[in-house]
Structure 1
Amino acid sequence: HLSRSDVFAHREDMIFILVMPAVLNRRFEYESSFVSALADYAWALGGQLYLSASRTYSGYDEKLLFRTKQLCEEFNLKMVATGDVFYHIPERRELQDVLTCVREKCRITDAGFRLHANAERFLKPVEEVHRLFKKYPQALLSVYEISEACQFSLDELHYDYPAEINNSGRSPLEELEYLTWKGASAFYGKEVPEKVVNMIHHEMEFVRRMDYANYFLFVEDIVSEARRRGILCQGRGSAANSAVCFCLGITSVNPMKFDLLFERFISSARNEPPDIDVDFEHERREEIIQYIYQKYGRDRAAIVATVTQLHQKGAIRDVGKAMGLSLDTINKLSGSLWEFTDEWFEGARVTESGLNPNDPHLKKVLSLTEQMMGFPRQLGQHTGGFVVTNGKLTDLCPILNARMPGRTNIEWNKDDIDSLGFLKVDVLALGMLTCIRKAFDLCRNHYGKELTLANIPQDDKEVYGMIQLADTLGVFQIESRAQMQMLPRLKPKNFYDLVIEVAIVRPGPIQGDMVHPYLRRRNGEEEVSYPSKELEEILGRTLGVPLFQEQAMKIAIVAAGFTPAEADGLRRSMATFKFKGMVNQWEEKLVNGMVAKGYTVEFAKRIFRQLEGFGS
């Protein structure tokens, strides 16, 4: 919390509006303690301080305004007209009352004076404000004075990468190129394969054009620090599509072994910074977090917030309790809905719950619930999304101290950060990395073997024998019931089979009818065929069935004439529930493009239906 001394120390270029007490004492004056404190503020802040004036129709408006004007004259301050606004239109007063009951943990019938006496705390038109403060023209002039002084646009925020990222004396791009080629030579030797060379050149040109070199250097720095400390770490997600990330040691997906698509990672069409997620041992991740704070300072590094929103079940429970519904009724209502769906109560659904859809009180509850849906519920902390700036964070965004000691949070979420183009790196914790570390320690202590992530045997037949029997309890990624049911059917024999195993037990392949065709082809029960050589190159390893979003993008590019940016748009429409259904807008373009390239309409539509499954 801010103290009075904090306010005085940071008063430069600030405007302060003091919210006046809503009541007077028996002599119809402000309390002497308040007046004494006001004198201190007036002396320290002078013309930067305004006293608020509101008309709330409480019965004391005239007396309050008169006393406020007296204080303005006594301390040479200005009065400013305010609305004490809680909602934008009077009709929202009911919802405000319910929210008050939720906050106070009481029912509407017991709220009493905790609720406002009327519905006047709405955003009034300018004409109405002029009428209300006709006797106090200075209060109106102050409104215009403050609004003119507070001209601001988010476009004025300019993010700069931290200068400490690169201390080599080279430019950021030169340093990135140096580290990348150094890593490539260390892995491949003096003769780096031509395929990798071409990928690095392609990615470096993109990084140069988009000015992302500092971002890669920042991630490389924290990964290198983790390795210096002996902390296991591993890049995850779409960053695995980058040869640069591989050469920097951020990811371990060899570009020579896998057919990668860089545009799956970052694309100029998205106009947003790259997003690299790095997992660290969960017991030692805090060391990396504190390393970032120590290197850049808590005034320049912070973790992004998450804003939890109210959905149907939560809103029904909050409103139901506030409106005095019985717990049984609340349970019936909330139990008849799935969480995070777009469904809503129709009369039939209410009747199915054993309730009367014509009950006025119940109708009011459902109406208020619908209004409350989507409201922010609470501010939380992102699992590890870090933002680091060159200057102070307070110059760019609001911050607060986290509950955990030694941490700072930004009050904006990741979508806000992405929109403003701030650097964000996800410093995540993974328990399985800790398990692997402990397993390495046991192997060294008991068998004298020095194992690392790089030298673990990849093709141990006994291990795959256990996997084929679904003996995978506690094994990361393949321990769920659905995975354990699929393992004996797919019978993985190598690492790529495991990649397919993890990918195939997902809503996309299941909804797109890809699972059974793949299994039949794998077991020799169905012929594997390809309508063209170009699609065979894309789908060969998955037996003609598209199982990965990268394959969907390549099909769109090669077989339908999409640009990489358009293919990324298709991928994004399949990537997250926020865009659910948007994949349909690409159907016409994909089908027409494939037909123009000589594919049949039936085949093109079948491919689209399979890709559409990714939107599930």
Structure 2
Amino acid sequence: MAFAHLHCRTQFSLLDGAVDPKKLAAGVAALGQPAAAITDTCNLYGGVGFFNACKSQGVQPILGAEIWMWPPGLAGRDPRAPDAGWHLVFLVETRPEDAGTWPPTGYRNLNRLITTAIFDGMHYRPRIDWELLATHKDGLIVLTSGLNGPIGTALADGDPDRARADLQRLRDILGPDHLFVELQDTGLPGQPEMNDLGRALAADLGLQTVVTNDVRYLHPEDAVTLDLLNCIARGENFDDPDRAPIPTDQQYLKSEEEMRALFPDDGDAIDRTVEIAARCRFDFKTDTYWFPATDPPDPDPPCPEGVHKARAPRADTQANWEYFYKAFPPPLDFGLPRPEEGIPEKPDGAGSINGYFEWYATLGLKLRLQHVPEDQHQAYWDRLAFEFEIIEGMGFPAYLLIVAEFINWAKDHGIPVGPGRGSGAGSLVNYALRITDIDPLRFDLLMERFLNPERVSMPDIDVDFCQDRREEVIEHVREKYGSPLVSQIITYGKLQAKAALKDVARVMGLDFNQADRIAKLVPNELGIKLDAALEEERLKTLVEGDPMVGRVYQLARRVEGMVRQTGVHAAGVVIADRPIVEHAPLYRDGPDGGPVVQFEMKSAESIGLIKFDFLGLKTLDQIRDAVEMVARNTGERIDLSRLPFDDPDTYALLQRGDALGVFQVESSGMRDLLQRLRPSCIDDLIALLALYRPGPLSSGMVENFIECKRDPSKITYPHPSLAPILESTYGSIVYQEQVMQIAQVYSGYSLGGADLLRRAMGKKKKEEMDKQRAIFVRGAQEQGHDEQDANELFDLLAFFAGYGFNKSHSAAYGVVSYYTAWLKAHHRAEYMAALMTIEANNTDKLLAYIGDCRRAGIQVLPPDVNESVRGFDVPKGHSDRIRFGLAAVKGVGDGAVEAILEARERAGGRFHDFMDCLEDLDYRRVNKKVLESLINCGAFDWTGHPRRALLEGLPAAMSVAQGTQEQKAAGQVSLFGALSGAAAPKRIRLPDVGEWPTAIKLSHEREALGFFITGHPLQAFRGIVERLTTCTIPQLDRMSADREVTVAGMVTAFRQILTKRGNKMAFVTLEDEHGSVECVFFSEPYQASARALVSEQPLLIRGKLEKTGEGSKILAESAEVLADVRIRRTREIHLHLEDHELGGDRADQLRGLLDDSQGRCPVFLHLRFPGLARTDWSLGIRAVPDEALMQGIESLFRRADVVELR
């Protein structure tokens, strides 16, 4: 006989299992065991992957799960019973009556049990009850689990009679041939007694026993990994002496011999594992796509053998036509009635799925061709016919109609949709159906890059919707197909290198800063492993030099790659032909989450579920908002889809690198590349997006591209026949599609075969490469080319294929980049206002965009409760101004914004004064903190009152305003009430105080907005800043690494940590008027600069410029308070005044300020008289330009530009 493990938890039990299902399958095969079950806790997350792994190892997979069950008499969410109940193990049985059907009964019932436990039975953990079990028992074999099963828990509670009663009830529900009593011996206390009682009860109740090992890991030494994962789950300290560690290392994948040695008297229970396995031969159905809404009343007859699907017989009926027209109505711009308005007469041939698909696409292309010269039309019709053959032959018209339906629904309802994304932009059918808005013939895009008839796989169309209305489209899909047929897709958060180090460091007792310091030494490389990370010298030194860090690293290697938590895929949505729970169990992310398929994306697709990607792209929101703002301000209606791609102003903007905020090209590296490459056509912009990646940048491709663009005489082609393919990229192979076209032209490949060549070159598998080389060279020779030349070209293609980019995606996103650049070039204020509204919560970006506006001569005005709307806005008739939005003020939520705008409307569009505003506000939505923020940011500056007076008078003003509201509500204030002597509303006088000093005023402003808007503390130091700094902060991005730099700014973020030696160091964010940068102070510079860094005053920082993947950073060498530097560096003080400013007693007050400021700098007065030349005097006074003098002069003359320091 043999043995099979029927109770195995994997990493998908989320920190309660320590084995990858693939390794489990390999371990079972290595032991020579015929089968194994996966039984994770209330989920099938790893089911599909485990099945595939087992099959590749020649092992029979068994699908199952361990589910928590309410005990008899206790069903419901009893808060006193978080641990009430026990586990049962469920295995999917194969029943003869299920042959040829999907889903089999057992699989469907297990899905129902898991899903219902999660959605309806959650009480600390998912649970099922007896009634649910009785309803969904068919096709399931049940094991009694171990110490957490009905027998083990009853013994632990000292109630063996309860075990008998529970087991008897289970037997009555399931039947004796579907319930088995588990025997386990993994060294845990209580198991021998459990086994004895289990044997006795099985004998008394007519049940059979089965031996399991409750497997949690592969080898005994892996028990520490499980213990570590448990600590991560519970937040426990691994070395805590009071912690109870896992008491056994015996829950590993044991051999048959080991199991028989443990149970010498239970040979039949061991043999029974294989008998049960023989009853559990469930398999996933992987040869069918479960398309929704594609079962018309009159299905097509079967396709005769040997006939291409595109030419198969069709059921062309009126009933089918009406069915498809209702299911997939064409968009409004086709000019046809909506289904609810009536069904048009059936066109010939449109009464089948393929016929309807062709009719839809043909009509769509006719409309597209209205904007294409007539002499080019035939090429489009030929391409359309070619694509019909491919799409219908692969069986995908239904897929494309489904995608077209929800995209066109979105467009018809005013929801912005991107022009395309990914390889789908290469299809003319997609263009005709309005799935994309990229003309593939105009951009020389290939259908075979999207669908390859020589490699059949489900098409993959990712769709960008505007961020704020994306959910509406998903909700439409739910309403159209029914919620049970629509679900999002799960994702698994894994303990990758950095996360593993952080989690292990935490459970080893290290604090957050220590853990973070270790993790940050792992290079920012996607998917990097800890072993590879150790090549980073600083990490290696720390691991080898600090025993605790070394231990953290070694333990982190144990858990690396394990699943830590689940989440929801950002875009993936499944739409099925029936309730999804029949195809897969469902999960939800949190108590209010919607249904989520438990299989990750690839697994879900592999079992025939149709996945669609609904992505949110905030650039589309931004474009929409800018276009609407332009229309509102100027009346101009912009149709971006009709823009020519040759606008000189747009390319001029790009060529000068003025691309901050432009889609895909706003990074400093991209802006630098724009200036070097100087794009002059849309093809250049498309190529730029493809080239700006690590491979091309490091390989010399980019420099070669730029050189050949500047000097066409340097362009060379591998062969003259390839010139038409490479002409648009100046002789460089930039795109994957070019690799395919070269193989077609030079070696006679079909484009489908060329796509296989491209894939092989991308994977670089020697066996496949050798095979493709032979095909390529043979084909080239048949075309008349030399063998050596063919081999050299193959090597060239193999090199570039590793760097080549998908041109379809680059073209689609290049068009969006062009749209945003055009908007910035022609409607800059509206575009930047829309951009800042979208980025309102990103202080760093807002600061950069405000700086960009100011450099372009656009004034960014502070918030104003009389002028501002929710978002940033361009006042009508003022294209040189942007008004701050109320929602961008910190602490002012959507409810408060709505209340202010409603009150303003009630007031006739403007508040007359401060009290007028307060008396009209809804204080349920606008509280004192909201008003304080609005005062501090300048939103009440229009009243003419100092911010300080408004803030100090606010409590009294609010009290009076609320009293007035109460009087009005009681009907005490009216015209007739006033005439009869009723109390009139009280008015208050604000405190008679002046404004705060500029520094304090700006500090409050920054608290309210996240940055300074009406001024900046650096403005008081402008002269000395210009003299002593290397550049402004944004200019750092255009400077080379390792350069010595000096910058000035305010510290806006400060974090101090301890090094491993106990020394202090700090990370500081420094902000000037235009941007911000991180400055790193190691121990010595920090010790010397600590006082300055916490002074809350403008600073001058010197250091070395470092470039990282995240941008610029300064490794600081010193920091000084600018006021101190000013005193030290100033030689002369010059005062610039108008003659009238010295009227009254101001001259005496000025003299008093100067007399009080005894110092070494001579003071000069420059006085202007109307109509006369300036008069200059030396006052014979020496003063010191300290804060007291500067603030005193500013307060005296109420402006900050009186003093010039030299």
Shorter chain as denominator, the TM-score bin is 0.7 to 0.9
Question: Aligned pair in 2 of structure 1 residues 327, 448: CA closer, same or farther (>3 Å)?
Answer: closer
Structure 2 counterpart of 1:160, from 290, 310, 326: 290
Q: Which residue of 2 aligns with 1:379?
A: 566
Report the CA distance shift for 1:349/1:255 in structure 2 as closer, same or farther (over 3 A): closer
Give the residue type in structure 1 aligned to 2:801: L
The whole-number CA distance in structure 2 between the counterparts of 1:36 and 1:443 is 76
Residue type matched to 1:162 in 2? P
Q: Aligned pair in 2 of structure 1 residues 590, 144: CA closer, same or farther (>3 Å)?
A: closer
Aligned counterparts of 2:655 and 2:796: Cα–Cα separation in 1: 31
Alignment of 1:380-529 (within 5 A): 380-403=567-590, 405=592, 407-456=594-643, 458-524=645-711, 526-529=713-716
TM-fit CA distance, 1:197 = 1.8
Q: Which residue of 1 aligns with 2:246?
A: 116
In the superposition, relative to structure 1, how do residues 457 and 154 fare at CA in structure 2: closer, same or farther (>3 Å)?
A: same
Residue matched to 1:44? 173
Q: Is the 8 A contact 2:463 2:614 kept in 1?
A: yes
Q: Does 1:244 align with 2:374?
A: no
**1:212-611 equivalent positions in 2, closer than 5 A:** 212-234=396-418, 235-324=420-509, 330=515, 333-339=518-524, 340-342=527-529, 344=531, 353-355=540-542, 357=544, 365-403=552-590, 405=592, 407-456=594-643, 458-524=645-711, 526-572=713-759, 579=763, 585=769, 592=777, 596=781, 597-598=785-786, 599=789, 605-611=795-801
Structure 1 counterpart of 2:364, one-letter code: G
Instruction: Please state whether the residue corresponding to 1:377 is helix, strand or coil.
Output: strand
**What CA deviation, in whole Å up to 9, does each residue of 1:190-241 have, x standing for no partner?**
9672221222222211112211111111111111211221111133111011
Amino acid paired to 1:9: T
* 1:257 CA drift (Å): 1.1
For residues 131 and 387 of structure 1, the distance between their equivalents in structure 2, rounded to whole angstroms, comes to 48
Q: 1:180, 1:248 within 8 Å by CA — same for their partners in 2?
A: yes
2:360 counterpart residue number: 179
Structure 1 vs Structure 2 CA RMSD: 3.5
Displacement, 1:179? 0.9
Tell whether 2:386 aligns with 1:202.
yes
Q: Residues 468 and 14 of structure 1: is their aligned pair in 2 closer, same or farther, counting only changes over 3 Å?
A: same
Deviation of residue 387 (structure 1)?
1.8
Structure showing greater radius of gyration is 2
User: Could you tell me how far apart the structure 2 residues matched to 1:344 and 1:496 are?
Assistant: 42
**Equivalent position of 1:15 in the other structure:** 141
Matched residue SS, 1:187: helix
Q: Deviations over 1:528-579 (max 9, x none)?
A: 233434211101111211222211221233234544344323433676xxx5
Q: Distance in 2 between matches of 1:154 and 1:12?
A: 18
For residue 148 of structure 1, report the CA deviation from its aligned partner. Answer: 2.2
Percent of aligned pairs with the same amino acid: 27
How far 1:393 sits from its partner (Å)? 2.1
Give the AA of the match of 2:504. V
Distance (whole Å) between structure 2 residues aligned to residue 581 and residue 328 of structure 1:
43
- How does the TM-score come out when normalised to structure 2? 0.47
Q: CA deviation at 1:243?
A: 0.8
Equivalent-residue separation in structure 2 for 1:165 and 1:464 (angstroms): 51
CA contact (8 A) 2:501 2:553 kept: yes
Seen in structure 2, the aligned counterparts of structure 1 residues 69 and 331 have a Cα distance that, compared at 3 Å, is same
Unpaired stretches in structure 2, ≥5 consecutive residues: 1-117, 122-127, 297-322, 325-349, 806-1206
Kept after mapping to 2: 8 A contact 1:303/1:382: yes
Amino acid at match of 2:278: E
Aligned mates of 2:543, 2:588 — CA distance in 1: 48
**1:376-396 CA distances to partner (integer Å, 9 max, x unpaired)?**
232221111122221232232
Task: Give the letter aligned to residue 214 of structure 1.
Answer: A
**What is the TM-score with the length of structure 1 in the denominator?**
0.88
The answer as to 2:227 corresponding to 1:92 is no
The amino acid that maps onto 2:246 is: H
For residue 61 of structure 1, the aligned residue among 164, 188, 191 is: 191
Asked if the contact 1:8–1:45 (Cα under 8 Å) also holds between the matched residues in 2, the reply is yes
Corresponding residue of 1:613: 803
Cα offset for 1:284? 0.6
More deviation in 224-233 or 340-349? 340-349
Q: Residues 308 and 562 of structure 1: is their aligned pair in 2 closer, same or farther, counting only changes over 3 Å?
A: farther
- Pick aligned residue for 1:170 from 351, 354, 357: 351
Unmatched 5+ stretches in structure 1: none
AA in 2 matched with 1:45: L
Q: Once structures 1 and 2 are overlaid, which stretch shifts more, 150-159 or 272-281? A: 150-159
Helix, strand or coil: the match of 1:163?
A: coil
Equivalent-residue separation in structure 2 for 1:449 and 1:481 (angstroms): 33
Q: Distance in 1 between matches of 2:530 and 2:232?
A: 24
Cα distance in 1 for partners of 2:187, 2:388 equals: 65
How many Å separate the matches in 1 of 2:543 and 2:706? 50
Distance 1:201-1:562 versus aligned 2 partners, 3 A rule = same
Q: Is the 8 A contact 1:528 1:544 kept in 2?
A: yes
TM-superposed CA distance for 1:75, in Å, is: 5.2
The alpha-carbon distance between structure 1 residues 131 and 612, as it changes in their structure 2 partners (threshold 3 A), is closer
Instruction: Give the 3 Å change call, closer, same or farther, for CA 202–124 of structure 1 in structure 2.
Output: same
